[in-house]
Amino acid sequence: MISFSFALLVGLAVTAGRASAQEDVPIRVMFVNQFPDETVDLYWEDHKYPHDHPDRRKLEARIPPRGGWHASDTFLRHEFSYEHQGKRHYITPPPGNIHGEQFLMVAGDSEGYKVRCEITVNSQQYMDYLDIMVKPYWAPRAASRFLELVRQKYYDGVAFNRVVPHGLTQFGIARDFATRTKERELTIWDDFPKGIKFEPGYMSFAGSGHDSRTTEIFIVNPGVSEAQLRMFGENSWETPFATVLDVDNSALRKIYSGYGDMPHFGGRGPDSARIYEEHGYTYLSKEFPKLDYIDRCYVVDEVGLSDLSAGDL
């Protein structure tokens, strides 16, 4: 299981320089493998040798599946490669963030990773589900963090605590006090924006400032106005990483929304600060009995696979 404590490591700062000197600019690159059961052999391409030379390709690391990762202290313009489904993929890491770090997924031509969340709807009267496609290249830090939390069963039992009709649906404060307190302290850095505009069904981590994302997520609801849609993504931490499949016909429309937004925004819904308190879910059940909840979330292609032990990573 990938641990995001490594995201707090301070990489070497990237200095400005001429293009001809970029190979001397250090960068730390985090390569992450989210395939369900396929180990990725990552190679460094040594450009001193021609493509057909036996010393051209050097094994950098074997990256295990389901959140396995490898940190490479390398330099700009260095090239890496890996093979997936008979095709070799090449990576030249782009410049890093202010910490001199870049975060990349080795996902081949994968469309994404399907997550199913089984949920209550219509004020807990029925069970339904949301099918979510996690996109590996839209916002790789966010995608990896979400998959990590799903595998940890973090979202199981979590409330849809903020549901604004024709606006957004938000969730992500764990039912267990110790768990939500611990994970709240583990922030991840912002992803580099890829120019992907929000649409109904798109998912993003919520945040409160630069590099502030933890566990809370919002989904853009169907029927959102064009004006509101343009506002999503104005903050650096709002980057889409997944989409609800067939959103117009999905269970998203059936999640109870009668309480509206948080009090801070003029609604009658739960105060998220109170949910984080020790008896936060007692507060929800007593004062907001109609809320809907996630029963469980899982990565579809990982059902039936054996758990990875710490030794596998």
What confidence tens digit (pLDDT) does each residue in 116-147 have? Answer: 999 999 999 999 999 999 999 999 999 999 99
Q: pLDDT tens for residues 260-303?
A: 999 989 899 999 999 999 999 999 999 999 999 999 999 999 99
Predicted pLDDT at 308: 59
pLDDT, one tens digit per residue, over 39-62 is 999 999 999 999 899 999 999 999
Pairing of strands 126-134, 40-45: unpaired
pLDDT at 22: 54
Return contacts of 257-263, CB within 8 angstroms, 24+ apart. 257/163, 257/164, 257/165, 257/169, 258/290, 259/163, 259/288, 259/290, 259/291, 260/163, 260/164, 260/165, 261/162, 261/164, 261/167, 262/162
Q: Note the pLDDT of residue 170.
A: 98
| CA-based nearest residue to 77, from 140, 27, 137 | 27
pLDDT value of position 204: 98
Counting residues of the chain whose pLDDT is more than 70, the rounded percentage is 90
Contact assessment for residue 69 and residue 32, using Cβ atoms and an 8 Å cutoff: yes
Predicted pLDDT at 309 = 43
Give the contacts of 161 (CB within 8 A, at least 6 positions apart).
Answer: 170, 171, 173, 269, 270, 272, 275, 284, 288, 291
When the pLDDT of each residue in the chain is averaged and rounded to a whole number, the result is 91
Choice among 18-32, 66-80, 96-110, 231-245 with the minimum mean pLDDT: 18-32
In this predicted structure, the answer to whether residue 8 has a pLDDT above a threshold of 90 is no
Count CB-CB contacts under 10 A for residue 285.
Answer: 12
Q: Left, alpha or beta for 71 (phi > 0: left; psi -120 to 50: alpha)?
A: beta
Provide the 3-class DSSP secondary structure of residue 42.
strand
Rounded Cα gap, residues 112 and 144, in angstroms: 11
pLDDT-based confidence at residue 305 (cuts at 50, 70, 90): confident
17 against 110, higher pLDDT: 110
Nearest to 73 by CA among 47, 101, 45: 101
Tokens of 108: 């081949």
The answer to whether 102 and 27 are in contact (CB under 8 A) is: yes
Kindly indicate the confidence band of residue 11, based on its pLDDT and cuts at 50, 70 and 90: very low
Q: Which residues pair with 40 in a beta bridge?
A: 63
